[in-house]
Amino acid sequence: MGARLSYPEVDLKGKVAVVTGGNTGIGYETAKALARMGAHVVIACRSQERAQQAIERIKLELSEAGEVNVEFVQLDLSSLQSARDFTDNFIAKGLPLHLLILNAGIAAVELGRTVDGHEKHFQINYLSHLLITLNLMSVIKSSGPDARIVNVSSYAATFGKFDPSNMDGSQRYSRMGFYGNSKLFQIMSMYFLQRRIAGCGVTISSLHPGAVDTEISRNFQDSTFWKTVTNVVKSVGVLRSPEKGAATTINAAVNPEFKDMEALYFENCKVTQPVRSARDEATQERLWEYSFNLIREYVDTGRLASVGIELPSIPDTENNHEATGSTGEQNLTTTED
């Protein structure tokens, strides 16, 4: 028998939620569920057209529930400037933020760089989401109590590792390995950020949604191997629907049982332990310093200081060349449209 996937229906009237990649797959089902419970939902993705289609679909599917409040704000996770612009645009609305659902991502794509010169999985799945979290942290903290940040990670974190000498894949690269890296970093960021805001009424969690049949599989349709694996998995019926795949995300976001419970990791709507490598505090701290120094110029340091997060020191660039990354723009295929 499959895992029992469930979450409580709670009253979210007056609450505001941001869902990255909320136009499709798990993100769409998450956005719809939060809207059904009464939240004002912001769908953050690249394509306004696809977002508007998702919003109209949500309104149609929830027509019997009455008026729902869902809007679009543009976000391209392959650009740090876009991530900064997104947070500025959200803050300019003057809204609180009770739920930040970091859902969008890509999986097992070919080696390539973002416009900022970073390996695609690293920036789209992890680094831009970290930037968004930092720039919105003061809003989230002021919106509590019981404001929550939820990272949609993956079991693929098991295959990941933090290797500062090969973050861009220039020495060696595997599609699933670097996808796993980005998902590992999402879990590690839960720990290093939660330590820095402990006891402030904001909780951060991570989760594995299960094997879900979503559009993310389009990211590796160029690979005969991965396309075959996907087709075989689909044929034996082990993939969850996006609706069931979203259950763990929604449970982490709304279940009153988890109020004030910090740095929880979920699978099948239950609290469990993530991979051991994600729980090593020394490595978490190295990742924090490494990551922050890549996004420092895009961080609103004044807002960050207001929530008591101490900034890492600026590295010696002569001795930290591995953190600079290469530059160059390439076309991207992502599920955060």
Q: Cite the active site residues.
A: 179
| Rounded-to-integer distance, Cα 10 and Cα 63, Å | 19
**Per the structure block, which two tokens stand in for 159?**
């295959």
The DSSP-derived string for 129-161 is HHHHHHHHHHHHHHT-SSEEEEEE--GGGGG--
Q: Which of 100, 128, 124 is nearest to 113 (CA)?
A: 124
What is the sign of the dihedral through the CA atoms of 34, 38, 39 and 44? positive
- Give the residue carrying structure tokens 């629907």: 241
3-state DSSP assignment of residue 280? coil
Sequence-distant (≥ 6) Cβ neighbours of residue 296 within 8 angstroms: 311, 314
Contact 231, 220 (CB under 8 A): no
Question: Which backbone phi and psi does 173 adopt, to 5 degrees?
Answer: -150, 135
Task: Count Cβ atoms below 10 Å from residue 33 Cβ, excluding itself.
Answer: 25
Tell me which residue of 74, 79, 90, 124 sits closest to 104, measured CA to CA.
Answer: 124
The stretches of the chain forming alpha helices (DSSP H) are 25-36, 48-61, 80-92, 120-121, 128-142, 175-196, 224-235, 242-245, 247-254, 281-295, 301-306
- Strands 16-20 and 40-45, by their bridges, are parallel
CA distance 333 to 165: 26
> What are the phi and psi torsion angles at 329 (to 5°)?
-105, 135
